[in-house]
Amino acid sequence: MVHLKITLITKKMKKEHFEILKKFINEMPDLIATERKELIAVISELIDDDTKIKFSDFWDKYPKKQGKFNAEKTWKMMSARNQHLALELLPLYINAVAPYVHDAENYMHKRMWMDYMEKPKTKDDLFNI
């Protein structure tokens, strides 16, 4: 019953409220760890669906216009987070590999944008300023 109520509530929830709900779920004493993980996964999927980017927004910016059908299928299978990262880091990828840009499906399937993400700072980096 709780699962159904949370599912209905999250359909209208905004992403910024997700963290509050996640914290609330983690503090519920009567839930076991697997139930908590399950609820959080369901909520994040529902929110992901609301924040996904249209394929046409990505396709308009991608320089190599080949394999649109397969690229669109791959785009639709990606999570909203990966869609945002792929689109946000696209200019860095293009500048780094031009003129040898892969087709869009490979860019997404192989997660090539991850090569251009900023690496998290470690303790050693903080001391080497």
Kindly report, residue by residue over 16-41, the tens digit of the pLDDT. 666 666 667 667 766 666 666 676 66
- Mean per-residue pLDDT, 8-23: 60
Kindly report, residue by residue over 41-74, the tens digit of the pLDDT. 666 666 555 578 899 999 999 999 999 999 999 9
pTM above 0.85, yes or no: no
Say which residue the tokens 């699962």 belong to: 3
HSE, side-chain direction, 13 A CA sphere, residue 16:
0
Q: Give dist(CA 107, CA 129) in Å, integer.
A: 34
Say which residue the tokens 């944008």 belong to: 113
Say which residue the tokens 């963290």 belong to: 19
Tokens matching residue 83: 């869609």
Kindly report, residue by residue over 67-94, the tens digit of the pLDDT. 999 999 999 999 888 888 898 889 989 9
Q: Which residue has the higher pLDDT, 128 or 76?
A: 76
Distances (CA, A) of 76 to 41, 79, 80, 88, 125: 18, 8, 9, 17, 37
